[in-house]
Amino acid sequence: MKNIVLSIITLTLTSVSCSLFHFLPPALNNSYWDNQFSRFLVLENITSPDQFDIGMDWNDSISIAVTTNGTLSLYAYDIFNYYTALMQDYPGPASSPVMHTDKDFGLGVFYVGNADAGEMKYKPGNYWTNFSTQTEVADCLFPIDYCVSPDGKVFLVFSLVSSNTEFIIEYSDDPGSAGFFNFLPPVDTMSDIIDLTIGIRKDGVLFVGVANNDYIVVYTVDTNKQLMNFQILDGKHAAKVTAAEDGKFYLVYLTKNYDVKMARFEIIGGNLVQTYEWMVYEGGVLVDPSYPSYSIDTVYDPVSGNGYIGFIESQYNQPLLFRFYRGQLSLVNMIHSESTNNKFINLSFDMDGNPVAGVTFGTNPYDVWVYTKWESY
């Protein structure tokens, strides 16, 4: 694999404005349900869902990763002064950022960089920096994802430029290391990969969800690198996985009728077995044919045990958000029912385990509103 040498960069906070971002008005009348939730306009002129992602850092600051004309820009939103400030630009090429929050590891963003190489930045404290001095993540094609183990290992999963039916898993033991190393040889799914996500259990067992146009396959990879899989014929386009505090794996997926289901998996007798299934939403999910994997998003906080499922329903284009906790599903009244004409949703969580939702609104180019719990700040 091709090695990409990266230098460690110390970043400073810079307040700037540009053609993409403007000073934004206070959300005076945007709080609902006894002021528990507020919304903030954090981005404008977004043209596609693969252009940005959101997350929350250790002090509950809203962070945004954006790629514009090949440049990766990392922003922080100032909720007290209502503007979006540039943290750092990384000249491209860069595309398809994926941002996650981890309370121990910090905030991270994985993206496709130069010469089809996956690159990663992370923010363990106040500043963004390169994750490692060198990366071996070559032949990298979207979809991509990553997860962090309880002992701080980072696992990347991505499909291959050389074969879009295959995915690979790479890992790194710690920040500042020599780079990422192969964990598993390429796995051939036998069909072009549309969605690809990864989660990890407390004991180090990995869980991978793969979606294509005709079905979904979930894989487990244990610490001995033994691979097991389970096929779901009723699913397509979107396969979001996580491992919950109960030690079980969960998959949220889009059905062929454009409903949302959640399935629970366990390893029993050396086999991967589906042990339960929930109908999360029956009534139609909005799916953009150019970006079907963005029709659903999920996030899970292993500390609080809260998991969240978000999507846009197809009748009124209204964002819907559900919480799953210890096998129970409930609707989260976070986004006002009058919020229609939306397109995509990205999820994160704050340090208290409360949901954070970034919703694209309007017609292309879109505005991005972030909904969050005000009392967390």
Residue 189, pLDDT > 60, answer: yes
127-160 confidence digits (pLDDT tens): 888 887 665 578 999 999 999 998 889 999 999 9
Q: Residue 302 has what pLDDT?
A: 87
Percent pLDDT > 70 in the chain is 87
305-316 confidence digits (pLDDT tens): 999 999 999 999
Residue 338, pLDDT > 50, answer: yes
Domain that holds residue 145: 4-376
Percent pLDDT > 90 in the chain is 61
35-71 confidence digits (pLDDT tens): 467 889 999 999 999 999 999 988 888 999 999 998 9
Residue 34, pLDDT > 70, answer: no
Measured CA to CA, the distance from residue 194 to residue 211 in angstroms comes to 6
Domain CATH code at residue 233: 2.130.10.10
Residue with tokens 């990663």, as numbered in its chain: 120
Confidence tier at 15 by pLDDT (50, 70, 90):
very low
201-250 confidence digits (pLDDT tens): 988 999 999 999 999 999 999 888 999 999 999 999 999 998 877 788 99
Average pLDDT over residues 338-357: 91
Q: Residue 19 has what pLDDT?
A: 30
- Residue at 254: amino acid letter: L
Name which of 233, 290, 293 is nearest 263 in CA terms. Answer: 233
61-109 confidence digits (pLDDT tens): 899 999 999 899 999 998 778 889 999 998 878 999 999 998 888 899 9
Name which of 214, 166, 221 is nearest 190 in CA terms. Answer: 166
Domain tally, the chain: 1
Confidence tier at 287 by pLDDT (50, 70, 90):
very high
Name which of 100, 103, 238 is nearest 156 in CA terms. Answer: 100
| 305 φ/ψ angles, rounded to the nearest 5 degrees | 80, 5
